Amino acid sequence: MSQRVRIGMIGGGQGAFIGGVHRIALRMDDAFELVAGCFGRDPKNTIATGEELGLDPARCYPTWEALIEGESRLPADQRIEAISIVTPNHVHHAPAKAAMEAGFHVICDKPLCISQEQADDLASTVEKSGMVFALTHNYSASPMVREARERIARGELGTIRKVYVEYLQGWLSDKLEESGQKQADWRTDPTRSGPVGALGDIGTHAHQLLEFVTGERVTSIYAILDTFVEGRALDDDDMILLKMANGATGTLCSSQVCFGKENGLKLRIFGTEGAIEWEQEHPNDLKVTGTDQSMTTIRTATAAAGEESASLTRTPAGHPEGYLEAFANIYRAFARAVRGQDQPLADPFPTIEDGVRGIQFIGAALLSSEENRWVDIPD
């Protein structure tokens, strides 16, 4: 990258988790310079976070509105060029919209927002403003996920028949939100998380991954959204039957009450001529079953992997890479887009369309669960 992209951050202050992940990712390729931020609702948190990061106190703003206004007044060669939004879900729509209208590119954590109205508004804003918008569905930037996508696109599995995706965690098996744990607190609060809990937090990852890898849309679902922990306001377990555009069927499960599970995102796809299997907790392995029923494990940075996965691989064979590197791959592609540079891959990062799809998926699941019936997802 010939010149670092000047970036600001909204959210991600002391006590937050995902903000630190994003800061590691944006630094990994030296493509960004974090120069400004509003890191939380408490201005003292923002100042303390800015001090830790070595930022100019004058560019540590008390509100996100002040950040956008203040940076807009700076000379073009000094102001930020992009904003990273790493807040709870209810503070995605307004700052993303305002940032793009002010001429700043946006990279935002998932899910896109908390309602279909907000999603449609952001899609319209992206189109009108012409700004780059990226959504950090990070798993789609894992090398072996790209390998799976590439093999399916080449027809190696034949016609896709069955799809199974699950995202199982156990950290909310108890009512952790009552302990004051910050991550549990906002994720189980409808005013901040939106109308769903586990489905928005991890189910949208599973949905995006499934459509990304297969290249097929989920067209209809039958959902059961459950709340197992007594007194919890949002779903903590979801079971969904699904149909896909090409006729394939399968299931999507997202749960945060599977005791002992850490971050069990797993994808299995079965076709007429083969199958693939990928697990996030073993991200460098892709299990491929061929027409002769033999199973091969494809590894990153080996001759067995294709060009697309190789373009996302950062380390030599046998050196683990995963969660943080996948985030960094999205940030690297986002920086290229901001600079107007060529991308080595088609679909280099999730876009506003992926975000809108995720909100449509949530809406259909809510309706299906409430009315106990199959619901179509708009294309």
Architecture of domain 140-316+351-371: 2-Layer Sandwich (3.30)
- Asked whether the predicted pLDDT for residue 1 surpasses 90, the reply is no
pLDDT of the residue at 2: 53
Token readout for 168 is 């199982």
- Long-range interactions of 328-332: CB distance < 8 A, separation 24+: 328/24, 328/25, 328/26, 328/28, 328/29, 329/141, 329/142, 330/25, 330/107, 330/134, 330/136, 330/138, 330/141, 331/22, 331/25, 331/26, 331/28, 331/29, 331/31, 331/32, 331/107, 332/28, 332/29, 332/31
Average pLDDT over residues 35-61: 97
Render pLDDT for 117-170 as a digit per residue (tens, 0 to 9): 999 999 999 999 999 999 999 999 999 999 999 999 999 999 999 999 999 999
Calculate the CA 46 to chain-centre distance.
Answer: 24
Q: Is-contact 220 376, C-beta < 8 A?
A: yes
Render pLDDT for 77-102 as a digit per residue (tens, 0 to 9): 999 999 999 999 999 999 999 999 99
Judged on CB neighbours under 10 Å (0-12, 13-18, 19+), 60 is buried
CATH 3.40.50.720 in the chain, residue ranges = 5-131
pLDDT of the residue at 145: 98
pTM for the model stands at 0.96
161 phi and psi angles, rounded to 5 deg: -110, -45
How confident is the prediction for the chain on average, in pLDDT? 97
CATH 3.30.360.10 in the chain, residue ranges = 140-316+351-371
Taking the C-alpha atoms of residue 172 and residue 186, their distance in angstroms, rounded to an integer, is 12
Domain 5-131 classification at class level: alpha beta
Average pLDDT over residues 263-271: 98
Q: What percent of the chain has pLDDT over 70?
A: 99
| Amino acid symbol at 169 | Q
Render pLDDT for 68-82 as a digit per residue (tens, 0 to 9): 999 999 999 999 999
Q: Is the peptide bond before 378 cis (omega within 30 degrees of 0)?
A: no
Token readout for 226 is 């459950």
pLDDT band at 15 (very low <50, low <70, confident <90, very high): confident
pLDDT of the residue at 379: 82
Average pLDDT over residues 363-374: 98
- Asked whether the predicted pLDDT for residue 299 surpasses 50, the reply is yes
Average pLDDT over residues 202-208: 98
Q: Is-contact 183 12, C-beta < 8 A?
A: no
DSSP state of 177: G
